[in-house]
Amino acid sequence: MAELHTPRSLIVTFYGAYGRTAEGPVPVSSLIRLLGAAGVDAPSVRSSVSRLKRRGFLLPGRAPDGSAGYLLSDEARELLEDGDRRIYGSRPVDGDTGWVLAVFSVPEQERHKRHLLRSRLARLGFGTAAPGVWIAPARLYDETRHTLDRLQLRPYVELFRGEHLGFAPTVEAVGRWWDLTAIAKQHEEFLDLHEPVLRGWQTGPQPEPQQAYRDYLLALDSWRRLPYADPGLPSALLPADWPGDRSAAVFAELHARLRDTGAAYVRL
């Protein structure tokens, strides 16, 4: 998993897990303490917060104690709430069938929006069925429509629902539409990093708040990209040794064991 646990990524993960429930802006001193527990030094926290402020993700304000702090912008809060459905949602069941297709056309003078469309569809889990034709499981329709609305990209896209009727068997076609090998590798990397952590908590003592917070923050930072890279295809269309269900189970148990205990260390 390239680019894991960068300071900026960990700050976003922190706000998604704990910071958005704070009463008012999170003090900079608290961010330095809490990111320090995950191995990020103070200068990196400050510079990453500044970049997130420039991007409109964080807004400056005064914390309840009067010190300088940062809170989420409305757009960032909406983005995190959208992500909750993927990150913490249940895995799809095999009864989920059908596909949603996205077909778009962007004028040459607005080609920057073409890049934005492609990147957003990829981040939603779409594969490429043909040039300009993107495909995903039908259950992603509502989220796709909401995302395109939020980004004001609706005028360039047509969405369709349908079945795959040939000519290659669907199990073969999905191997062209998605890079399943690359997705499986991401699951395996997550398991390599975090399955040993879970085993340690399963066999060791009850978690201390600081260690629970650290292990949960790192696991969530690793995991939160995976439900977007992996579209959640039915198991009948996946290789027999697919690691996705196992990685989802590992994250779910780490979340159940560590999230609330870690909150005691946050103390915002």
Strand stretches in the chain, DSSP E: 26-27, 58-62, 68-72, 99-104, 127-130, 133-137, 157-162
CA angle, residues 63, 67, 68, in degrees to nearest 5: 80
The pLDDT value given to residue 94: 59
152 membership: H or E segment, kind and range: none
* pLDDT computed for residue 91 by the predictor: 67
| pLDDT of 83 | 87
| pLDDT over 90 at 242, yes or no | yes
- Please identify which residue in the block is written with the tokens 């569809």: 121
Average pLDDT value over all residues in the chain: 89
Please tell me which residue, 187 or 114, carries the higher pLDDT value: 187
Q: What does the DSSP 8-state code read for residue 10?
A: H
CA distance 170 to 24: 50
Q: Are 107 and 156 in contact (CB under 8 A)?
A: no
pLDDT above 80 (res 21):
yes
Distance CA 11, CA 20 (A): 11
pLDDT for residue 200: 92
Buried b or exposed e, range 39-76, using 16+ CB within 10 angstroms: ebeeebbeebbeebeeeebbeeeebeeeeebbbbbeeb
Q: What is the rounded distance in angstroms from the CA atom of residue 202 to the CA atom of residue 258?
A: 11
Is the predicted pLDDT of residue 19 greater than 70, yes or no? yes
pLDDT in tens, 76-112: 998 898 888 889 876 666 556 789 999 988 777 777 7
Angstrom distance (rounded) from CA 93 to CA 72? 34
Q: What is the pLDDT of residue 148?
A: 85
- What average pLDDT does range 163-174 have in this prediction? 87
Q: pTM for the complete prediction? A: 0.88
φ/ψ (deg, to 5) at 49:
-60, -40
